[in-house]
Amino acid sequence: MTDITDPIELFGKWYDEATKLDAHEPTSVVLATATKDAVPSARVMLLKGFDERGFRVFTNLTGRKGRELLENPKAALCFYWDKMDRQVRVEGDVERVEGHEADEYFASRSRESRIGAWASKQSNVMENPDDLMSRVNEITEQFAGEQIPRPPFWDGFRIKPNVIEFWEKRDFRLHKRTVFRKSQTGWDFEILYP
């Protein structure tokens, strides 16, 4: 049993440990979404923040993940820190972040990344590989000497957890699993068989 009864606090502790271990990319997370017809898809992304409200990711709204998050606002996250032999799974409802949050994160990105966000027609078929660099050059010229604003088709999402499961590797596959479920009074937790 864990001595921490708040899963966000426990996640923060594990996240800090992963960061201190100098894990290659401790913010890497698999985001799973589904279409409105329940066709699933998953991809690796980078977590861009978390707090008691949930876990934040950012993306192009016209790409597959953006469209799926808008059409079916349910998602799952899976973190795996191999140096620590730990995994965290999150399931929850999805909401768009507030505009100022998306603006702040977008402004923190490198200029090249902001240009890339404008230039990419994420998830669309690229007929000619030269088209992307042409678009990059056009956007670079368009915003020469100016701040690059957040595109209207680019935003952030918050996965508001209903379930958070913590997994720790143990010998002989007798792993430790603790699952937290959101309740009306906070969080309830249970220990699961491996």
The predicted structure's pLDDT at residue 1: 43
The predicted structure's pLDDT at residue 23: 66
Task: Write the Ramachandran bin of 68: left for phi over 0, alpha for psi from -120 to 50, otherwise beta.
Answer: alpha
- Which residues are the active-site residues? 173
- Domains of the chain, start order: 7-104+154-192 (2.30.110.10)
Does the pTM surpass 0.75? The reply is yes
Q: Is 143 exposed, middle or buried (0-12, 13-18, 19+ CB in 10 A)?
A: middle
Q: Are the beta carbons of 139 and 118 closer than 8 angstroms?
A: yes
The tens-digit pLDDT sequence of the chain (194 residues) is 457 789 999 999 999 999 998 767 899 999 999 999 999 999 999 999 999 999 999 999 999 999 999 999 999 999 999 999 999 999 999 999 999 999 999 999 999 999 999 999 998 899 998 999 999 999 999 999 999 999 999 999 999 999 999 999 999 989 999 999 999 999 999 999 99
Distance of CA 155 to the CA centre of its chain: 12
Distance of CA 18 to the CA centre of its chain: 16
Please give the Cα distance from 133 to 189 (Å, whole number).
50
- Helices in 45-123 by DSSP H: which ranges? 64-71, 99-108, 111-119
The predicted structure's pLDDT at residue 2: 53
